[in-house]
Structure 1
Amino acid sequence: MLFLFRLILISVVTYLLALVAPWWSAILCAAVITFFLPGNNFNAFLSGFMGVGLIWMVMAWKVDVETNSIMSQKMVELFPVDEVNMLIIISGVIGGLAGALGAFSGNSFRQIFIKKKEKSFYA
Structure 2
Amino acid sequence: MKFIIRTIIIIVASHFSLMYFPWWSIAVCAFFAGAIVAGKNLSTFFSGFIGLGLLWLVQSFLIHTESSGILSNKIAEIFTLNDGIYMVLITGLVAALVGGFSTLSGFRFRRIFMRKKDRGLYR
How far the C-alpha of 1:57 sits from its partner, in A, is 0.7
Unaligned stretches of 5+ in structure 1? none
Match of 2:77?
77
How far the C-alpha of 1:12 sits from its partner, in A, is 1.2
1:19 aligned counterpart, secondary structure:
helix
**How do residues 1-123 of structure 1 correspond to structure 2 at under 5 angstroms?**
1-119=1-119
1:53 aligned counterpart, secondary structure:
helix
How far the C-alpha of 1:121 sits from its partner, in A, is 6.7
Matched residues in 2 for 1:38 and 1:81: separation? 40
Matched residues in 1 for 2:44 and 2:81: separation? 31
For each residue in 1:57-82, what CA deviation from the matched residue of structure 2 results, as whole angstroms up to 9, or x when unmatched?
11111111221211111111111322
Matched residues in 2 for 1:87 and 1:5: separation? 29
| Counterpart residue type for residue 86 of structure 2 | M
Which shifted more, 72-81 or 87-96? 72-81
- TM-score, structure 2 length as denominator? 0.92
Matched residues in 2 for 1:52 and 1:42: separation? 16
For each residue in 1:31-74, what CA deviation from the matched residue of structure 2 results, as whole angstroms up to 9, or x when unmatched?
00110101111111111111111111111111112212111111
Matched residues in 1 for 2:83 and 2:56: separation? 18
Identity across matched positions, percent: 34
Matched residues in 1 for 2:116 and 2:80: separation? 49
2:20 aligned counterpart, secondary structure:
coil
2:11 aligned counterpart, secondary structure:
helix
- TM-score, structure 1 length as denominator? 0.92
Matched residues in 2 for 1:55 and 1:66: separation? 17
Matched residues in 2 for 1:82 and 1:104: separation? 34
| Counterpart residue type for residue 75 of structure 1 | I
Where does structure 1 differ by over 4 angstroms across 4 or more consecutive aligned residues? 120-123
How far the C-alpha of 1:85 sits from its partner, in A, is 2.1
